[in-house]
Amino acid sequence: MDLLTYFRAEIDTVGRHWRDILAAFDDDTARRRPAPNMNHVLWLTGHMTWAEDYLILEVPKGLTFRRKDWDRLFDHSSEKLSDDQYPSFADVKNEYTRVHAEVVKHLALMSPADLARASTMDKRWLPTSAHAIAHQVTHGQYHLGQLMYVEKLRQAGKL
């Protein structure tokens, strides 16, 4: 399996699992924090939307499909805010689904040679498309693990 095929498979796999798990959450359960200072499902989903768009589209290509006005809520430096400052879970879930579909389309159009191209944004630790996408592959799995943990708490009635 070549690197691009691997990246596509990983992003698709995380996306499928993410959407499957989200189906069990409503606005109330998506806003419940597993512990006082832990992220809830709504933030995790908004953050995944930001990360896929930023690391797979914006850094390497200068493209973006996400709602940029939500960056302050969900980017890498976002703080844990009070629940009334976040959009509805339905809106965040729909945004994730929409942006993820654009990311998957973009990856489907890429060739292996595209991975070696320099990123359009000056990020020393993400100098090429391959670096940025690889970062999201590991980052996505990390947050999927968090989402799976919260889902297990929900199933056990502890959320």
Let me know: does 142 contact 66? Beta carbons within 8 Å.
Answer: no
What is the chain's Cα-based Rg? 16
Backbone dihedral region for residue 62 (phi beyond 0: left; psi -120 to 50: alpha; all else: beta): left
Cα–Cα distance, 65 to 104 (Å, whole number) = 12
Mean pLDDT by 10 residues, the chain (159 residues): 95 98 97 91 98 97 97 91 94 98 97 95 90 97 97 95
Task: Determine the pLDDT at residue 79.
Answer: 86
Task: Determine the pLDDT at residue 42.
Answer: 98
Beta bridge partners of 128: 118
Phi, psi of 132 (to 5 degrees): -65, -45
SS3 annotation, 15-73:
HHHHHHHHCCCCHHHHCCCCCCCCCCHHHHHHHHHHHHHHHHHHHHHCCCCCCHHHHHH
pTM of the model: 0.96
Task: Determine the pLDDT at residue 137.
Answer: 98
Task: Determine the pLDDT at residue 122.
Answer: 81
Sorted by sequence, the CB contacts under 8 Å of residue 155 that are 6+ apart come out as 24
Instruction: Give the count of alpha carbons within 13 A of 159, CB side only.
Output: 25
3-155: CATH topology: Four Helix Bundle (Hemerythrin (Met), subunit A) (1.20.120)
Per DSSP, the three-state class of 11 is helix
Domain boundaries, the chain: 3-155
Per DSSP, the three-state class of 159 is coil
